């Protein structure tokens, strides 16, 4: 745990020293509808680095973050340093992920999670340096509609599941159909006070 914390602090500390020019890149989207903390968004395509790991929600995000942070810190074919982006995204690894990431070929509900970093827009699937860790895969998230629910606090598993159910009910109330597993997105470094942290649950929309 202390090693992971030191790694996270190093990443965000380097970004902080860079000042405004080092602003963290985030996925691009347009807000289509908004009601309080709920939004419907239209996302543009972007490339992600993804790893599938086991354990509960907290263990999985630690293990996934460690692998992906190692990659962007230079554990790749070109020893390239890749800019940190936000958020760190996490979701249960079910059938949808199994079909797109060979390392995730396992039954749905097997206690495994996909953890993702968005890659900076300057990279494509063809230009990204290859990872030394064979568990890391790349893919393009397509343009799609997503429903989002923003919340503060510590993003524990029980919060993720409760907020996911709230978002599903809100989606149903608007006559929309959800598709796939909810994604937990965390935007802030670990020293951010819990009451102002930005967390989100996102669910893809089928219609």
Residue 205, beta-bridge partner list:
178
* pLDDT of res. 135: 94
pLDDT in tens, 1-33: 444 444 444 444 433 333 333 357 889 999 999
* pLDDT of res. 203: 94
For the chain, how many structural domains are there in total?
1
* pLDDT of res. 109: 45
Q: Which regions of the chain are under pLDDT 70?
A: 1-23, 93-110
* pLDDT of res. 44: 96
- What residues make up the domain containing 103? 2-205
* pLDDT of res. 37: 97
Give the CATH number, domain containing residue 70: 3.20.80.10
* pLDDT of res. 93: 63
What pTM was estimated for this model as a whole?
Answer: 0.78
* pLDDT of res. 7: 47
* pLDDT of res. 67: 92
Contacts 24+ apart (CB under 8 A), 13-21: 15/84
* pLDDT of res. 96: 32
* pLDDT of res. 23: 55
* pLDDT of res. 108: 28
36, 82, 137, 165, 186 from 73: Cα distances, Å: 38, 7, 16, 36, 20
CA distance linking residue 105 with residue 103, whole number of Å: 6
């Amino acid at each position: 745990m202390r090693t992971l914390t030191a790694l996270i602090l190093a990443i965000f500390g380097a970004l902080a020293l860079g000042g405004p020019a080092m602003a963290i890149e985030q996925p691009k989207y347009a807000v289509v509808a908004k009601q309080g903390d709920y939004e419907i968004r239209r996302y543009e395509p972007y490339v992600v680095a993804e790893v599938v790991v086991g354990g509960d929600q907290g263990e999985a995000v630690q293990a996934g973050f460690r692998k992906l942070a190692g990659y962007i810190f230079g554990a790749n074919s070109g020893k390239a340093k890749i800019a940190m982006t936000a958020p760190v995204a996490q979701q249960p690894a079910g059938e949808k992920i199994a079909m797109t990431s060979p390392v995730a070929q396992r039954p749905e509900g097997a206690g495994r999670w996909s953890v993702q970093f968005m890659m900076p827009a300057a990279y494509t699937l063809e230009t990204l340096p290859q990872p030394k860790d064979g568990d890391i895969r790349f893919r393009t998230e397509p343009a799609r509609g997503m429903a989002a629910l923003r919340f503060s606090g510590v993003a524990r598993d029980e919060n993720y599941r409760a907020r996911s159910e709230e978002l599903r009910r809100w989606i149903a109330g608007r006559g929309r159909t959800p598709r796939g597993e909810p994604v937990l997105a965390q935007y802030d470094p670990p020293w951010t006070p819990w009451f102002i942290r930005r967390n989100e649950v996102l669910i893809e929309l089928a219609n």
